[in-house]
Structure 1
Amino acid sequence: MGKQEDFVLRALEEREVRFVRLWFTDVLGYLKSVAVAPAELEGAFSEGIGFDGSAIEGLARVTESDMLLQPDPGTFQILPWRGEAPATARMFCDVAMPDGSASYADPRFVLKRTLSKAAERGFTFYTHPEIEFYLFQGKPAAGDEPVPVDRSGFFDHTAQSAGSDFRREAITMLENMGISVEFSHHEGGPGQQEIDLRYADALSTADNVMTFRTVVREVALNQGIWASFMPKPFTTHPGSGMHTHVSLFEGENNAFFEAGAEYQLSQTARHFIAGILVHAAEISAVTNQWVNSYKRLIGGDEAPSYVCWGHNNRSAMVRVPMYKPTKDQSARIEIRTLDAACNPYLAFAAILAAGMKGLEEEYPLPRETEDNVWSLTPAERRALGLTMLPKNLNDAISVAEDSELLAETLGEHVYEFFLRNKRAEWEEYRGQVSAFERDRMLPVI
């Protein structure tokens, strides 16, 4: 065993760990967990822990159900909400086949495989998500509109605010688990919060997003409230996104930076942006994977609906933040489509693959959009050559079904299962009779 495994085994004894939760993610992005006793962990490191993969969404067929969980010792952390003595720890796992080979159905492997392809060209992919979510007064009952914990707005500072207390406890818990937080504040909607995680490599960020969602829900439940990452819980209030800043590094050098270039953006950055724009529609089913995701994207405000980029333009799908002259390392782009309800492993893999395709094929970067896209007329948008992102999940699935890039990135197993599941979600949604229809039609027809 290596140094990391030895460290974990020592920590189990020193911290009086009674249970170790092995975490992994299914194809749809739901966190799964199995608890093992510390005595089993040495064997888990060397041989893995067996489980029935056919019982987990998208992982395996019944005829090939035996699978293994292989703990990643670099992700070992004590779970602070479970108490200190006896303690409970967690580790993320890679899913493997019985012969020890990686499972092509494991979303974490999909991202690792995509990162490896970028690494072959000398690049490391870094990400920095700004995660928005709502806090409600208790779990909403079916059919009821949720009640926000406050009526505050963007950056509001309110005495004895439930949101402030919540953010303080959540950030403390995240940092206790080794997840660095950069900013936090109240967002624009009532009860809406934002917490921004510090830059990290994409695999660490994806693990952190999964941990973040768990911590936020645990803290909320502890405070007697309910947290939701639903992209658009209200018709009249802003949706919740996960604007994600990304950059490529070559060793210690930021490959997106070029001194003296327009906006200090290198050709690498420009081709990368072009790749994201060209393939934006076909990766939308992954970056915005739920029926409800498209209620946010068509809602205007700061959620993008059109495929475009701009310098410091918050109505654009891809924004180039203002350059800081003394911080070459901070040159980056911001992708504003994602929401925090996505599977972060698949979403980051799709974004990286699209950007790298633009880099490999040297896609030309179209003219930037300087205007507020939402204030333009349809004719003005057509004149600028702006195309729309998919209007709904059905449109996104249709484009994804013809995408060679997405099929190659996700791999045959994940690609087919994911789109089949999304198609079933759309068909179920399409058959539902909504409150809108009843309110409109029952009184008059």
Structure 2
Amino acid sequence: MTTPTHPPEPGRIAELRARGVHGVALTWVDNAGLTRVKAVPLDRLPAAAERGVGMSPVFDIYLVDDSLTASRDTGGPDGDLRLVPDLGRLTTLAGQPGWAWAPVDRFEQDGRPYPGCQRHFARRMTARAAEHGIELRMGFETEWVVTRDGRFACSGPAYGMTRLVELSAYADDLLTAFAAQGVTVLQLHPEYAPGQFEISIAPSDPVTAADEAVLVRETIRAVSLRHGLTPAFGPVHDPDGVGNGRHLHLSLWRDGRNLCAGGTGPFGMTAAAEAFLAGILSALPELLAVGAPSPASYLRLQPSRWAGVFQCWGLENREAPLRFITGAPDDPTAANAEVKCFDPAANPYLLVGAVITAGLTGLTAQQTLPPPITGDPAPQHQPRLPTSLPESLTHFERSTQLRTAMGDMLFEAFAAVRSAEAKLFDGTSPEALAAATRERY
């Protein structure tokens, strides 16, 4: 695989110009879970697509506060990469007049894929699933809190129509922006915590799902700011309250058939779906380092808050980290699984790649699921998932499956960043930790 050399068609540039686009934001997500950007004028997009845009690899070891750490292969002022926009994802930004957006793949100067590129990792694992005859469909739910001048922007109750009425114009602009950008919204509603909302996006292939997780967050940010609102995507806004999740839904398909339905396994799963989900369930302690990767994530992961803190699964059980959903009886396409213990601090490309890795390990080993849990697992003596970032990192660093799939450079850079963030916030009070992270993502 070499650097793409196909510039956009002249008509595409003319179309963007007619829409008033003057600049294109080219984004990637670093190992701290932050979306980084380089922007080019619209007229420079053909050159960017053909030759890439230069960027230092040092951002792979930036922390959430923009301080630096180092890993064996990453760090220091040397080196340069080429950021190559994926023109298939080129989108006019409805919430940012004058701008378009495209995610990038990162390449070495000689055109080789950069081993530390998280988007390459997600694409590799999607291809590996295809080698097993598995097509994955994934979609994220994103939760956030909106404030105005430091106060919650609405006062209505959890899931209350009052809250939607209070911010009716804001919600309308969100839906309008997503429709204009070609993002299919399944649901938009007030959530449990004060000032909290959630949006669910239709499933797609894993790389597109990760791209849309980035686009969704930045669209929410843009629309919020235009309404005088501040969005907070951190794992917790109030350390004593319910936090923000970014749940991952997934289903497995083969030859147009949903493998999560129509089988002889638990609740109609096929053997392949059960084995894949069993692989995810058994790997949750190490996956937590990827999907709940901030020290603040563990303020959110508390029992009896529907965050999924015990290593178990269940049918429509919102206290289980792995929730199986059969959907309507007459709709076999609706069956899917939801992983609830992840949050918006996660890099979505790393997350989809890591989840596929775990699932394929289960598929290869023909793993089976333990009995499902009903009710609250807290009094049922289920094993607790890691309760801190250092604990989940211990599981991550022992994971041969994730090291092999990610490659040494990406694996070690990620571990270095998350270990450094654990040290950065060691001894910080819950209140200070929440304040330091709630608006960084």
Q: Tell me if the contact between 1:27 and 1:106 (Cα under 8 Å) persists in the aligned partners.
A: no
Q: Which stretch shows the higher mean deviation, 292-301 or 97-106?
A: 292-301
Letter of the aligned partner of 1:122 in structure 2? G
Q: Distance in 1 between matches of 2:128 and 2:82?
A: 25
Alignment of 1:170-185 (within 5 A): 170-185=174-189
Q: Tell me if the contact between 2:261 and 2:332 (Cα under 8 Å) persists in the aligned partners.
A: yes
2:83 to 58, 61, 69: 69
Q: Which residue of 2 aligns with 1:89?
A: 100
Kindly tell me: are residues 3 and 248 of structure 1, through their superposed partners in 2, closer, same or farther at Cα, counting changes over 3 Å?
Answer: farther
Q: Which runs of 5+ in 2 are unaligned?
A: 63-72, 433-441
Q: Tell me if 1:321 matches 2:325.
A: yes
Q: Secondary structure at the match of 1:388?
A: coil
Kindly tell me: are residues 158 and 427 of structure 1, through their superposed partners in 2, closer, same or farther at Cα, counting changes over 3 Å?
Answer: same
Alignment of 1:67-146 (within 5 A): 67-83=81-97, 87-138=98-149, 140=150
Identity %: 26
CA deviations over 1:6-52 (Å, ceiling 9, x no partner): 65334244435322222222222221222223332222222222233
Letter of the aligned partner of 1:105 in structure 2? G
Q: What TM-score does the superposition give when structure 2 sets the normalisation length?
A: 0.89
Kindly tell me: are residues 8 and 60 of structure 1, through their superposed partners in 2, closer, same or farther at Cα, counting changes over 3 Å?
Answer: farther
Q: Which residue of 1 aligns with 2:213?
A: 209
Q: Tell me if 1:395 matches 2:409.
A: no
Q: Which residue of 2 aligns with 1:271?
A: 275
Q: Distance in 2 between matches of 1:233 and 1:416?
A: 30
Q: Distance in 1 between matches of 2:267 and 2:218?
A: 38
Q: Distance in 2 between matches of 1:373 and 1:277?
A: 15
Kindly tell me: are residues 433 and 133 of structure 1, through their superposed partners in 2, closer, same or farther at Cα, counting changes over 3 Å?
Answer: closer
Q: Which residue of 2 aligns with 1:300?
A: 304
Q: Tell me if 1:420 matches 2:416.
A: yes
Letter of the aligned partner of 1:403 in structure 2? S
Q: Secondary structure at the match of 2:22?
A: strand
Q: Tell me if 1:431 matches 2:398.
A: no
Q: Distance in 2 between matches of 1:238 and 1:175?
A: 29
Q: Which stretch shows the higher mean deviation, 187-196 or 408-417?
A: 408-417
Letter of the aligned partner of 2:407 in structure 1? G
Letter of the aligned partner of 2:418 in structure 1? K
Please, what is the CA RMSD of the aligned residues?
2.2
Q: What TM-score does the superposition give when structure 1 sets the normalisation length?
A: 0.88
Q: Tell me if 1:220 matches 2:224.
A: yes
Q: Distance in 1 between matches of 2:327 and 2:251?
A: 14
Kindly tell me: are residues 113 and 7 of structure 1, through their superposed partners in 2, closer, same or farther at Cα, counting changes over 3 Å?
Answer: farther
Q: Tell me if 1:194 matches 2:208.
A: no
2:29 to 25, 30, 36: 25
CA deviations over 1:187-234 (Å, ceiling 9, x no partner): 111111111111111111111111111111111111112111111221
CA deviations over 1:93-117 (Å, ceiling 9, x no partner): 1110011111111111111111111
What is the CA-CA distance between 1:166 and the residue it aligns to?
A: 2.3
1:354 to 342, 355, 358: 358
Letter of the aligned partner of 2:390 in structure 1? N
Number of residue pairs the alignment of both structures matches:
418
Q: Distance in 2 between matches of 1:124 and 1:7?
A: 33
Q: Which stretch shows the higher mean deviation, 20-29 or 119-128?
A: 20-29
Q: Distance in 2 between matches of 1:4 and 1:332?
A: 37
Q: Distance in 2 between matches of 1:56 and 1:402?
A: 21
Kindly tell me: are residues 326 and 38 of structure 1, through their superposed partners in 2, closer, same or farther at Cα, counting changes over 3 Å?
Answer: same
Q: Secondary structure at the match of 2:103?
A: strand
Q: Distance in 2 between matches of 1:176 and 1:435?
A: 38
Q: Distance in 2 between matches of 1:171 and 1:111?
A: 28
What is the CA-CA distance between 1:63 and the residue it aligns to?
A: 6.8
Q: Tell me if the contact between 2:138 and 2:251 (Cα under 8 Å) persists in the aligned partners.
A: yes
Q: Tell me if the contact between 2:144 and 2:233 (Cα under 8 Å) persists in the aligned partners.
A: yes
Q: Secondary structure at the match of 1:430?
A: coil
Kindly tell me: are residues 327 and 137 of structure 1, through their superposed partners in 2, closer, same or farther at Cα, counting changes over 3 Å?
Answer: same
What is the CA-CA distance between 1:299 and the residue it aligns to?
A: 4.4
Q: Distance in 2 between matches of 1:417 and 1:56?
A: 7
Kindly tell me: are residues 124 and 3 of structure 1, through their superposed partners in 2, closer, same or farther at Cα, counting changes over 3 Å?
Answer: farther
Q: Distance in 2 between matches of 1:74 and 1:110?
A: 18
What is the CA-CA distance between 1:341 and the residue it aligns to?
A: 2.2
Q: Distance in 1 between matches of 2:240 and 2:193?
A: 9
Q: Secondary structure at the match of 1:414?
A: helix
Q: Distance in 2 between matches of 1:259 and 1:54?
A: 48
Q: Tell me if the contact between 2:321 and 2:341 (Cα under 8 Å) persists in the aligned partners.
A: yes
